[in-house]
Amino acid sequence: MARRRGLVSTLAQLQREADRTRSAQLRAQAAAVRRAEASHKAYQRSQAADEKERKRLYAESRQADVEVQNEDLEEQVSELEQLLADSLKTDPFVDLDQLKTPPDLPVWDPGPLYNAEAPPARPAPPPAPSGIHRLSNKAKDDHANAISAQEAWWQQAITAHAQREQDRQAALHAAWTAHLARCAEVESATAARHAEIDQLKGTVTAADPEGIRSYFGLVLESSNYPEGLIPHTRLAYVPESRQLVIEYELPVYGVVPDVAGYKYVKASDKVTSAARPAAQRKALYASVIAQLTLRSLREVFTADRWGYIDTIVFNGHVDTINPGTGHPEHPCLVTVRTSRDTFTSIDLSRVDPIACLKTLNASVSKSPADLAPVRPVLEFDMVDPRFIDHTDLLGTLDQRPNLMELTPGEFEQLITNLFEKMGLETRLTQASRDGGVDCVAYDPRPIFGGKVVIQAKRYKHTVGVSAVRDLFGTMQNEGASKGILVTTSGYGKASYEFADGKPLELLSGSNLVYLLAEHAGIEARIQPPEDWQDPTPDSGEPTDGNNPVVPRP
């Protein structure tokens, strides 16, 4: 798990950094060219100008710098306004095989060691005595001694050269050995990365929930955002419901420039700035949040070539400090649940992002800049797969109560106790027709409270949409303000689509386990016996539509 998350983060970071580096280099080069051209022209003209002309050219140079600053500012704002539109031009699908890049081997460069030193040249022999000196025995002896000394020097030079050559060869061999070791390390690291990519590809192909979660995390974090917008996400996948839950770290309000433009004041030789109107800045920030939400939904649905995901829950949070209290906060500023069919029917190239979220029944902060929170459609921790333990050989050693092994009466008491702990006043419970629990309770809170109908079903497979319709009908017959359906399994897209916009809450098995631990102090597990049979509803609809259920790993 840790190695795979490390791989996803590394690949996403490499891809983001490469894209950002290219964009930054292009912008820097363009700005440098503009500045250089302006400065060069001013310099050429200043050579023949008097003091007044030089001052004028200096002012033009400062003005040119300000224009470049304004161009950069306009580009930054334009990038924020086009977050959604720009993403529509790209295919977010990540081909894992394309991530297998060849090893970046170091270049072999031995430097001076590569060139052998030329051997010393043999010196010419000293001239023999001539004239009358050739008859002198002393001259002859001196000549012989000179030849001997020269020969001795020559032998020493040859020996020293041979030693230096031997040392060079040894150093060259050591450098080559070190180079081969570095190449082996790079090749080994590349092979390990390729093996992890193959492993990830295998888990995705096999519909493993962890592989699916990791892959779509890679899709989102590999998206090419403008500099300063680095996506950080947490994902959870519920195979019973074919639902992906995304917790997305939104950028803070400061991502929108607080400066509207720069101006050069010649009289004081200073650059001043004009503040961007607060209303304009808040509107752009709200648009950024809406665009990021739609962009993320589009990237996941488009990259899902296997059809693993029917429904996405997106919760956009911001990690910030409350200026009033100084305490860290993590408010949710946007939350939405949508199905593939609903979302893909939208023409994103022609929508207003904020209006589009309203069409999707999203809950959006009334004032994102002021960190006004909204309640998530589904808390991320309630769907974290860690709360459901799919035990294997260790299952018999797990001492947590298995909800699937409780008697109907025990299950009813458990559900009743849970919602009492959550603040509801239970008035009536009865056994339901399908072996679950029907409960009528009351929320005592003023204004927001009222009558609540609760139904709980112990199912192994996906709960059919007929159960959601039945709950809505019961809620209306009882005159209740809200209906809650709890199951030990999950729901399909038809159930979520029917519940959308209605006062219905659908809680899956992982939600139930989380709530029991959080509110009732009960650490439970869900493990249906091999011979478990789900009760068949009156409608004869055992699953949510015709969509097959992705098996648990």
DSSP result, 309-371: -SEEEEEEEE-EE-TTT--EE--EEEEEEEEHHHHHTS-GGG--HHHHHHHTT-EE-S-GGGT
Strands 328-329 and 425-431: unpaired
Same domain? 353 vs 403: no
Same domain? 252 vs 167: no
Note whether residue 552 is domain-resident: no
The closest of 410, 378, 387 to 313, measured between CA atoms, is 378
Same domain? 263 vs 372: yes
* Residue 415, domain CATH: 3.40.1350.10
Note whether residue 493 is domain-resident: yes
Note whether residue 106 is domain-resident: no
Would you state the pLDDT for residue 4?
Answer: 58
Same domain? 332 vs 424: no
* Secondary element (H or E) of residue 482: strand 482-487
Same domain? 366 vs 402: no
Name, in order, each residue with C-beta under 8 angstroms of 93's C-beta and a sequence gap of 6 or more: 219, 302, 303, 305
The DSSP line for 393-429 is GGGGG--SPBGGGS-HHHHHHHHHHHHHHTT-EEEEE
Same domain? 58 vs 163: no
Note whether residue 536 is domain-resident: no
Same domain? 248 vs 306: yes
Q: How far apart are CA 523 and CA 529, in angstroms?
A: 19
Name, in order, each residue with C-beta under 8 angstroms of 174's C-beta and a sequence gap of 6 or more: none
Would you state the pLDDT for residue 535?
Answer: 74
Same domain? 303 vs 176: no
Q: How far apart are CA 425 and CA 416, in angstroms?
A: 9
Note whether residue 26 is domain-resident: yes
* Degrees, nearest 5: CA angle 238-242-246: 60
Count CB atoms within 10 A of the CB of residue 379.
Answer: 19
Largest CA distance in the chain: 144
Same domain? 174 vs 275: no
Q: How far apart are CA 193 and CA 532, in angstroms?
A: 42
Q: What is the DSSP letter of 519?
A: I
Same domain? 284 vs 302: yes
**Domain count within the chain:** 3
Same domain? 239 vs 355: yes
Would you state the pLDDT for residue 430?
Answer: 54
Q: Report how far Cα 203 is from the mean position of its chain's Cα atoms.
A: 19
Note whether residue 547 is domain-resident: no
Could you say which of 169, 201, 233 is where a domain stops?
201
Provide the token pair at 82.
């086009």
Could you say which of 328, 356, 382 is where a domain stops?
382
Same domain? 248 vs 185: no
Note whether residue 447 is domain-resident: yes
Residue for token pair 């303000």: 481
Integer-rounded Cα radius of gyration of the chain = 37
Strand, helix or coil at 376? coil
Note whether residue 479 is domain-resident: yes
Q: What is the DSSP letter of 500?
A: T
Q: Which residues of the chain have pLDDT under 50?
A: 385-397, 435-436, 538-553
Could you say which of 357, 382, 407 is where a domain stops?
382
Would you state the pLDDT for residue 209?
Answer: 92
| Domain limits for position 247 | 2-93+222-382
